[in-house]
């Protein structure tokens, strides 16, 4: 399963694979960022303090299709995405999804995946490609 999205950087003429992370500092954030580094994926950290306009701009420019994060932070981003064009297709929640996250994901046509399920799927696979 490849969750990273391909995009290009016209300024430098390179193709990139990108994946977003939005959360307070925690073990899953670090593990996701390290996995991105190992798999040559560009992690794009998003912060709630960026504001709606900047979050939407970053999501559009990176053509991000997957965003990892905590339930609370994912809700904040999905509230911003709701009603705006976005390539976001799935979110990977570090926490069990709340009813609010589930409802927002449905409204935005975004699938919710669970971080612990991805980790469980990847255990025992020498060629980890879950991101």
User: 1 pLDDT exceeds 60?
Assistant: no
Q: Would you state the pLDDT for residue 126?
A: 52
Q: Domain 5-122 adopts which CATH fold?
A: Rossmann fold (3.40.50)
**The whole model's pTM is what?**
0.87
Distance of CA 68 to the CA centre of its chain: 4
Question: What are the boundaries of each domain within the chain?
Answer: 5-122
pLDDT interval class at 88 (50, 70, 90): very high
Looking at per-residue pLDDT, the higher value among 4 and 107 belongs to: 107
Instruction: Indicate the angle between helix axes 71-81 and 99-107, nearest 10 degrees.
Output: 30
């Amino acid at each position: 399963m490849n969750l990273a999205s391909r995009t290009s950087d016209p300024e430098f003429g390179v193709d990139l694979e990108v994946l977003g992370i939005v959360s307070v500092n925690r073990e899953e954030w670090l593990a996701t960022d390290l996995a991105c580094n190992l798999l040559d994926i560009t992690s794009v950290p998003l912060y709630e303090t960026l504001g709606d306009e900047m979050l939407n701009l970053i999501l559009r420019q990176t053509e991000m299709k997957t965003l990892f994060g905590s339930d609370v932070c994912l809700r904040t981003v999905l509230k911003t995405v709701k009603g705006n064009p976005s390539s976001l297709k799935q979110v990977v929640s570090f926490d069990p999804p709340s009813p609010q996250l589930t409802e927002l994901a449905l409204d935005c046509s975004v699938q919710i995946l669970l971080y612990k399920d991805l980790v469980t799927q990847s255990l025992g696979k020498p060629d980890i490609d879950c991101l």
